[in-house]
């Protein structure tokens, strides 16, 4: 499957929400609010594009995309009561992700990099996530409920990166920049508690987990040639953090 198929499913889900509201008069809602995410990943790694047999491979300082920032969340959906204690709420959500940055100083490590004047990598990640989510809610009483919400969507991740390098052996100074754009499948899940402030206004307090997958940070070359071109990336990137959303029902 490709991400365009997920987008098609999300469009169909939006159409289903409209149909449900038009023909079955199910209560439709919008949800919005701030989320705070800590980003995390496996340690940054690299792949030499044209490895040279018999030569020393570079090493990089260990570290991951460990950063935190705010994100905006907007969703639209409808609720269907399935019993006196359970209800289902399918929705389409949109997350706008802020800047998650990481700096390695030094970046490259090894027997020849210990005396470098400058050896720093700056990476910055931003993007958005569109997903279809199913809220499975258990009603404790008229005021409180708890829920779990699995979902699947597409994440569009953009990175802006720069490598500053100057060897102590010569006067060569390199400033290499790379902007990358990548789309990944984005499974996610959340859980939390909801409180009915009014008959049509709810407060949603919970925790979100969003999988982002592999994030590329660019292709860099220490000597500006094809032989040292190296792709830098991080695998298993994800977001985890608390959310405070407000839900407004219509009808």
pLDDT tens, 209-220? 999 999 998 887
- CATH value at residue 200: 2.40.160.20
Point out the least confidently predicted range of 132-136, 177-181, 223-227: 223-227
Question: What pLDDT does residue 229 have?
Answer: 74
Q: What's the whole-number mean pLDDT along residues 229-245?
A: 91
Question: What pLDDT does residue 245 have?
Answer: 96
pTM: 0.84
Domain range enclosing 228 = 3-250
Give φ, ψ of 82 to 5 degrees.
Answer: -105, -20
Give φ, ψ of 182 to 5 degrees.
Answer: -140, 140
How many Å separate Cα 199 from the centre of its chain?
33
pLDDT tens, 129-153? 999 999 999 999 999 999 999 999 9
Upper half-sphere CA count for residue 14 (Cβ side, 13 Å): 13
What's the number of domains the chain is made of? 1
Q: CB atoms < 10 A from the CB of 136, how many? A: 15
Closest by Cα among 12, 38, 52 to 239: 38
Q: What's the whole-number mean pLDDT along residues 7-11?
A: 58
């Amino acid at each position: 499957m490709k991400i365009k198929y997920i987008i098609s499913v999300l469009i169909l889900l939006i159409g289903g929400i409209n149909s449900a509201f038009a023909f079955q008069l199910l209560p439709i809602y919008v949800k919005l609010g701030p989320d705070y995410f800590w980003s995390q990943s496996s340690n940054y790694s690299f792949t030499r594009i044209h490895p040279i047999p018999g030569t020393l491979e570079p090493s990089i300082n260990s570290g991951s995309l460990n950063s935190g920032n705010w994100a905006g969340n907007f969703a639209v959906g409808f609720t269907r009561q399935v019993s006196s204690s359970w209800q289902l709420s399918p929705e389409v959500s949109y997350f706008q992700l802020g800047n998650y940055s990481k700096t390695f100083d030094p970046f490259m490590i090894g027997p020849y990099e210990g005396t470098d004047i400058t050896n720093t990598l700056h990476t910055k990640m931003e993007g958005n996530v569109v997903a279809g989510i199913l809220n499975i809610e258990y009603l404790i009483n008229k005021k409180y409920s708890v829920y779990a919400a699995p979902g699947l969507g597409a994440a569009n991740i953009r990175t802006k990166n720069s490598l500053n390098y100057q060897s102590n052996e010569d006067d060569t100074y390199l400033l290499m920049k790379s902007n990358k754009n990548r789309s990944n499948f984005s499974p996610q899940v959340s859980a939390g508690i909801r409180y009915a402030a009014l008959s049509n206004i709810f407060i949603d307090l919970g925790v979100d987990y969003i999988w982002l997958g592999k994030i590329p940070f660019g292709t860099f070359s220490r000597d500006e040639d094809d032989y040292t071109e190296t792709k830098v990336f991080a695998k298993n990137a994800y977001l985890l953090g608390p959310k405070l959303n407000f839900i407004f029902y219509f009808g």
